[in-house]
Amino acid sequence: MNTQDRLTVPAAEAARLERSRRPGFNLLTMAAVVAALTIIIATTAGGYWLEIFTASFAVALAAAGTGLLYGRLGLISLCQYALVGIGGWVSLRVYHAFHPPFEICVLAGGLGASVIGVLWGLPAIRMRGLYLALATLMLAGAFQVVIANWSFPNGGTNFLGYMGDKPRVDMARPPFATAEAAYFVYVAVFLLLGLILLELHRQSKPGRAWALISRDERMAAASGVRIVFYKTWAFALAGFLAGIAGGLLAGCYGGLDSGAFSASQSILLFAVSVIGGVFDWPGAIFAGLMFGVPPAFLNYLGVNGYLATLLFGAGLIHALITAPTGVSGQVMGLIERLRRRRDAGTSS
């Protein structure tokens, strides 16, 4: 086979590659999938299950942040669920202090978690692997200790917004999304916007810079990439998504329980993110659903939901050994193989 033969891509495949590279193509696919999933769940699930799916979609945003750090940059961050808690704390505090529109509370949560994530991440930014994992796990541990003492704001007037054991003042949802189904759709819109934000990053300058850094930091530096700047950007974006998730969870339950934000939850979120897949956008949705649905299903069956942790452990080992791209990578790979088979059939 000579060089020119090897350089030839079938016309049908070249056209498909051109089509799939268009910026709007992935976004439309993403919107269609999230919309279809949302409609199916909103019309079939109710009560308890709708609340579980709402929380799962919110957590999917945080998992998308984990995917950004690990899938795009190879950075193991074990504080993502703590950042969810930080975002929830800020959202609740802003709500109880000022009663602004719900979206402002959620955005404040995102910004708060983003700032904390960057401040913690900056000293750790030159670390990789185990050292970064440990440094970020320390943040998760620190948050667990702090929130156990502070608790989440529940309507108090002091700095912490906590008024002891008095009945909690719930965070009000947006007026058009007070019903469970409407709020689920509302969270799904946030999830879609978060995934779009990440996809737009992936398709533009920062996403390409992250890819170079992930491939080889020296090559990236020799290409003019400011490595610390782009890593900090990734930490900020991942923290923002986690904080948004925290605000949405606070809206889902009306408030948050400090016992739900142990450091082990951050490790669990990382595990389900890897199982779901950190390299493709559907992985975040798989991860969110795995984080919320199996424990709830076990509880529904009368079995302790923590048993799901064992299943996730087995799933993680399976993913690391046989499917490092996770569930989403396997699904996307299958779709790609089917497309190529179709293109080969078209051109022959």
Partner 1 sequence: MIRIENLTVAFGGVRPLDNLNAELTAPIAGLIGPNGAGKTTLLNVLSGFVRPISGTVVLDDIDLLALSPIRRVAAGLRRTFQQELVVDDLTLWENIQAIADHVSQTRRDGEQDVDRAIAFVGLQRQKHLPGRRANLFERRMVEIAKTLVGRPKVILMDEPGAGLNESETERLRELLVAIPAEYDAQLVLIDHDADLIASVCVETLVLDFGKRLALGSTRTVLDDPIVRKAYLGNA
Minimum distance from residue 211 beta carbon to partner 1 (Å): 5
Question: Smaller CB distance to partner 1: residue 5 or 165?
Answer: 5
Minimum distance from residue 190 beta carbon to partner 1 (Å): 26
- The Cα 238–Cα 75 span in angstroms is 11
Minimum distance from residue 213 beta carbon to partner 1 (Å): 10
Per CB under 8 A, residues contacting partner 1 are 2-3, 6-9, 14, 17-18, 20-21, 205, 208-209, 211-212, 214-216, 218-219, 221-226, 279
Residue 53's CB is within 10 A of a number of other CB atoms, namely: 25
For Cα atoms 243, 259, 111, give the angle at the middle one, nearest 5 degrees: 10
Minimum distance from residue 9 beta carbon to partner 1 (Å): 5
Instruction: With CA atoms as reference, report the closest residue to 280 among 219, 235, 336, 224.
Output: 336
- The Cα 278–Cα 345 span in angstroms is 31
Question: Smaller CB distance to partner 1: residue 1 or 130?
Answer: 1
End-to-end CA distance of the chain: give it in Å, rounded: 19
Instruction: With CA atoms as reference, report the closest residue to 251 among 81, 82, 94, 44.
Output: 94
Question: Smaller CB distance to partner 1: residue 257 or 336?
Answer: 336
Minimum distance from residue 325 beta carbon to partner 1 (Å): 10
Question: Smaller CB distance to partner 1: residue 142 or 211?
Answer: 211
Question: Smaller CB distance to partner 1: residue 206 or 254?
Answer: 206
Residue 75's CB is within 10 A of a number of other CB atoms, namely: 26
